[in-house]
Structure 1
Amino acid sequence: MLHLAVLLPFLAAGLMIPLTRRLPRLHTGWVALPVPAALFLYFAARLPDIRKGEPLSATIRWMPSLGIDLSFVLDGLSMVFALLISGIGILVVIYSIHYLDRGTENIRNFYVYLLLFMGAMLGVVLSDNLMVLYGFWELTSIASFLLIAFWNRRERSRYGALKSMLITVFGGLAMFGGFNLLYVMSGTYSIREIILQVQTISPEPMFIPAMLLILLGAFTKSAQFPFHIWLPDAMEAPTPVSAYLHSATMVKAGLYLVARLTPVFGGHAQWFWLVSLTGLATLLYGSFKATRQTDLKALLAYSTISQLGLIMCLLGLGSAAFFFRGDVGAIAYTAAASAAVFHLINHAVFKGSLFMAVGIVDHETGTRDIRKLGGLMSLMPVTFTVSVIGSFSMAGLPPFAGFLSKEMFLAAVLHIRELDILNVQVWMLAFPVIAWIASVLTFVYSMILVFGTFGGKLRREELPKAPHEASPGLYLPPVILVSLALVFGFAPNLLSHSLIEPAMLSIYRGLGDELIPSGEAFGVSIHFWHGWTPELFLTLGIIAAGILLFRGYRRLRLLNKESGGRNYLSRLYDISLKGMESGSARLTDLYMTGSRRHYLLYIFGFFILALGGTLLLKPGLSFGLKTYAPVSFYEYVIIAVMLGAAVAVPFAKSRVAAILLSGAVGYMVTLLFVLFRAPDLALTQMMVETVSVILFLLCFRYLPKLKPERVKARVKTINWIISGGVGLIMTFVALAAMGSSPFEPISEFFLKMSYSQAGGKNVVNVILVDFRGFDTLFEIMVLGIASLAVYGLIRLRLEPGDSASRSLRPALLSKADFPARSNDVILRTMSSVIVYLILAFALYLFFAGHNHPGGGFIAGLMTSAALILLGFVNGLDTLRKALPVNYRIVTAAGLVIAILTSAGSFAFGAPFLSHAFGHFELPLLGDTELATAVLFDLGVYLAVVGVTMNMITTIGRDR
Structure 2
Amino acid sequence: MTIHLAIILPLLMAALIPFIYKLFTKIKIGWLVLLVPVTVFILLARFIPLISSGETRTYTYEWMPSLGINFTTYLDGLSMIFGLLISGVGALVVLYSIFYLSTKEALHNFYCYLLLFMGAMLGVVFSDNLMVLYAFWELTSVSSFLLIAFWHHRRASKAGARKSMLITVSGGIAMLAGFIMLHAMTDSFSIREIIAEMPALTNESLFIPAMICVLLGAFTKSAQFPFHIWLPDAMEAPTPVSAYLHSATMVKAGIYVVARLTPVFAYDLTWFWTVTIVGLITLFWGSFNAVKQTDLKALLAFSTVSQLGLIMSLFGMGSLAFHVDIDASTIIYTQAAFAALFHLMNHSTFKGALFMMVGIIDHEAGTRDIRRLGGLMTIMPATFTIAVIGSMSMAGLPPFNGFLSKEMFLTSALKVAEFDIFTLSSATALVPVIAWVASVFTFIYCMIIIFKTFFGTTEKLPQDRHIHEAPIGMLISPFVLVFFVIAIFFFPNVLAKYILAPAMLSVYPGLASMTDMTPHVYAWHGFNTELWMTIGVVVFGFVLYATLSKWRNIYNTIPAQFTLNNAFNRVLAEGENVSSFITKLYMTGSLRHYSLYMYGFLILVVGSYFAFSDTFRFSMENNAEIHVYEVLLVLVMAVAAVAMLFAKSCVTATVLNGVVGFGISLFFVIFRAPDLALTQLIVESVTTVLFLLCFTYLPTWKPEKTSHRQKMTNATISILVGLLVVAVSLSVLYFNEFKTISSFFENAYELAGGKNIVNTILGDFRAFDTMLEVVVLCIAGIGVYTMIKFRTKKGDDRHEN
TM-score (ref. length: structure 2): 0.94
Structure 2 partner of 1:275: 275
Structure 1 partner of 2:347: 347
Cα pair distance change 1:120/1:306, threshold 3 Å: same
Structure 2 partner of 1:599: 594
* 1:120-199 equivalent positions in 2, closer than 5 A: 120-199=120-199
Following the alignment from structure 2 to structure 1, what is the Cα–Cα distance between the partners of residues 458 and 795? 55
* 1:374-385 equivalent positions in 2, closer than 5 A: 374-385=374-385
Following the alignment from structure 2 to structure 1, what is the Cα–Cα distance between the partners of residues 452 and 242? 21
Q: Would you say the 8 A contact 1:394–1:442 is kept in 2? A: yes
Residue type matched to 1:764 in 2? V
Aligned with 2:372: secondary structure? coil
* 1:720-735 equivalent positions in 2, closer than 5 A: 720-735=715-730
Q: Equivalent pairs: percent with the same residue? A: 54
Shift in Å at residue 404 of structure 1?
0.7
Q: Would you say the 8 A contact 2:279–2:309 is kept in 1? A: yes
Cα pair distance change 1:649/1:473, threshold 3 Å: farther
Aligned equivalent of 2:570, options 572, 575, 584: 575
Q: Would you say the 8 A contact 1:80–1:499 is kept in 2? A: yes
Q: Would you say the 8 A contact 2:417–2:430 is kept in 1? A: no
Q: Would you say the 8 A contact 2:240–2:356 is kept in 1? A: yes
Residue type matched to 2:39 in 1? A
Shift in Å at residue 562 of structure 1?
11
Shift in Å at residue 495 of structure 1?
1.7
Structure 2 partner of 1:62: 63
Cα pair distance change 1:617/1:225, threshold 3 Å: same
**Could you give the per-residue CA deviations for residues 182-204 of structure 1, whole angstroms, max 9, x where no partner exists?**
22222222222222233332112
Residue type matched to 2:94 in 1? V
Q: Would you say the 8 A contact 1:76–1:499 is kept in 2? A: yes
Structure 2 partner of 1:517: 513
Following the alignment from structure 1 to structure 2, what is the Cα–Cα distance between the partners of residues 244 and 121? 11
Following the alignment from structure 1 to structure 2, what is the Cα–Cα distance between the partners of residues 157 and 562? 29
* 1:409-428 equivalent positions in 2, closer than 5 A: 409-428=409-428
Q: Would you say the 8 A contact 1:149–1:161 is kept in 2? A: yes
Cα pair distance change 1:9/1:325, threshold 3 Å: farther
Residue type matched to 2:20 in 1? L
Structure 2 partner of 1:894: none
Following the alignment from structure 1 to structure 2, what is the Cα–Cα distance between the partners of residues 747 and 228? 54
Residue type matched to 1:660 in 2? V
Structure 2 partner of 1:286: 286
**Could you give the per-residue CA deviations for residues 375-408 of structure 1, whole angstroms, max 9, x where no partner exists?**
1112111111111111111111111111111111
Aligned with 1:377: secondary structure? helix
Aligned equivalent of 2:527, options 507, 529, 532: 532
Following the alignment from structure 1 to structure 2, what is the Cα–Cα distance between the partners of residues 112 and 731? 56
Following the alignment from structure 2 to structure 1, what is the Cα–Cα distance between the partners of residues 229 and 309? 14
Aligned with 1:651: secondary structure? coil
* 1:83-94 equivalent positions in 2, closer than 5 A: 83-94=84-95
| Worse-superposed segment, 286-295 or 669-678 | 669-678
Following the alignment from structure 2 to structure 1, what is the Cα–Cα distance between the partners of residues 13 and 41? 15
Following the alignment from structure 1 to structure 2, what is the Cα–Cα distance between the partners of residues 258 and 46? 24
Q: Would you say the 8 A contact 2:242–2:355 is kept in 1? A: yes
Q: Would you say the 8 A contact 1:113–1:143 is kept in 2? A: yes
Q: Would you say the 8 A contact 2:199–2:267 is kept in 1? A: no
Aligned equivalent of 2:752, options 751, 755, 758: 758
Structure 1 partner of 2:799: none
Structure 2 partner of 1:838: none
Q: Would you say the 8 A contact 1:367–1:463 is kept in 2? A: no
Shift in Å at residue 656 of structure 1?
2.9
Following the alignment from structure 1 to structure 2, what is the Cα–Cα distance between the partners of residues 195 and 309? 25
Aligned equivalent of 2:777, options 772, 777, 783: 783
Query: Is 2:482 the counterpart of 1:482?
Result: yes
Structure 2 partner of 1:682: 677
Q: Would you say the 8 A contact 2:374–2:461 is kept in 1? A: no
| Worse-superposed segment, 148-157 or 774-783 | 774-783
Shift in Å at residue 692 of structure 1?
3.0
Shift in Å at residue 782 of structure 1?
3.0
Following the alignment from structure 2 to structure 1, what is the Cα–Cα distance between the partners of residues 13 and 230? 29
* 1:409-808 equivalent positions in 2, closer than 5 A: 409-459=409-459, 462-509=462-509, 512=510, 515-517=511-513, 520-558=515-553, 568-623=563-618, 626-752=621-747, 754-787=748-781
Following the alignment from structure 1 to structure 2, what is the Cα–Cα distance between the partners of residues 388 and 499? 27
| Worse-superposed segment, 61-70 or 274-283 | 61-70
Structure 2 partner of 1:52: 53
Output the aligned Cα RMSD: 2.5
Structure 2 partner of 1:258: 258
Q: Would you say the 8 A contact 1:280–1:435 is kept in 2? A: yes
**Could you give the per-residue CA deviations for residues 461-489 of structure 1, whole angstroms, max 9, x where no partner exists?**
54552210111221111111111111211
Shift in Å at residue 341 of structure 1?
0.6
Following the alignment from structure 1 to structure 2, what is the Cα–Cα distance between the partners of residues 562 and 483? 42
Cα pair distance change 1:788/1:466, threshold 3 Å: closer
Q: Would you say the 8 A contact 1:373–1:463 is kept in 2? A: no
Shift in Å at residue 786 of structure 1?
4.5
Q: Would you say the 8 A contact 1:365–1:463 is kept in 2? A: no
Query: Is 2:6 the counterpart of 1:5?
Result: yes
Shift in Å at residue 416 of structure 1?
1.1
Following the alignment from structure 1 to structure 2, what is the Cα–Cα distance between the partners of residues 76 and 526? 18
Shift in Å at residue 677 of structure 1?
2.8
Following the alignment from structure 1 to structure 2, what is the Cα–Cα distance between the partners of residues 327 and 630? 86
Following the alignment from structure 1 to structure 2, what is the Cα–Cα distance between the partners of residues 656 and 791? 32
Following the alignment from structure 1 to structure 2, what is the Cα–Cα distance between the partners of residues 545 and 673? 88
Aligned with 1:459: secondary structure? coil
TM-score (ref. length: structure 1): 0.79
Structure 1 partner of 2:72: 71
Following the alignment from structure 2 to structure 1, what is the Cα–Cα distance between the partners of residues 714 and 431? 69
Cα pair distance change 1:786/1:371, threshold 3 Å: closer
Residue type matched to 1:529 in 2? W
Following the alignment from structure 2 to structure 1, what is the Cα–Cα distance between the partners of residues 15 and 416? 50
Cα pair distance change 1:206/1:461, threshold 3 Å: closer
Cα pair distance change 1:26/1:421, threshold 3 Å: same
Shift in Å at residue 798 of structure 1?
8.1
Cα pair distance change 1:22/1:792, threshold 3 Å: closer
Structure 1 partner of 2:29: 28
Q: Would you say the 8 A contact 1:624–1:740 is kept in 2? A: no
Q: Would you say the 8 A contact 1:460–1:466 is kept in 2? A: no
Shift in Å at residue 325 of structure 1?
6.2
Shift in Å at residue 157 of structure 1?
1.2
Structure 1 partner of 2:15: 14
Cα pair distance change 1:392/1:10, threshold 3 Å: same
* Unpaired stretches in structure 1, ≥5 consecutive residues: 803-959
Shift in Å at residue 707 of structure 1?
1.1
Shift in Å at residue 458 of structure 1?
1.6
Residue type matched to 1:456 in 2? G
**Could you give the per-residue CA deviations for residues 714-748 of structure 1, whole angstroms, max 9, x where no partner exists?**
11111112222222323333333343254333332
Following the alignment from structure 1 to structure 2, what is the Cα–Cα distance between the partners of residues 49 and 637? 82
Residue type matched to 1:762 in 2? N
* 1:826-865 equivalent positions in 2, closer than 5 A: none
Shift in Å at residue 762 of structure 1?
2.9
Cα pair distance change 1:260/1:455, threshold 3 Å: same
**Could you give the per-residue CA deviations for residues 167-224 of structure 1, whole angstroms, max 9, x where no partner exists?**
2222222222222222222222222222223333211222212222221221111111
Following the alignment from structure 1 to structure 2, what is the Cα–Cα distance between the partners of residues 466 and 566? 41
Shift in Å at residue 100 of structure 1?
1.4
Shift in Å at residue 644 of structure 1?
3.3
Aligned residues: 795
Following the alignment from structure 1 to structure 2, what is the Cα–Cα distance between the partners of residues 276 and 767? 52
Residue type matched to 1:379 in 2? I
Cα pair distance change 1:722/1:74, threshold 3 Å: farther
Q: Would you say the 8 A contact 1:625–1:739 is kept in 2? A: no
Aligned with 1:374: secondary structure? coil
**Could you give the per-residue CA deviations for residues 429-473 of structure 1, whole angstroms, max 9, x where no partner exists?**
111111111111111111211121111222265455221011122
Cα pair distance change 1:267/1:797, threshold 3 Å: closer
Residue type matched to 2:762 in 1? L
Structure 1 partner of 2:335: 335
Residue type matched to 2:67 in 1? L
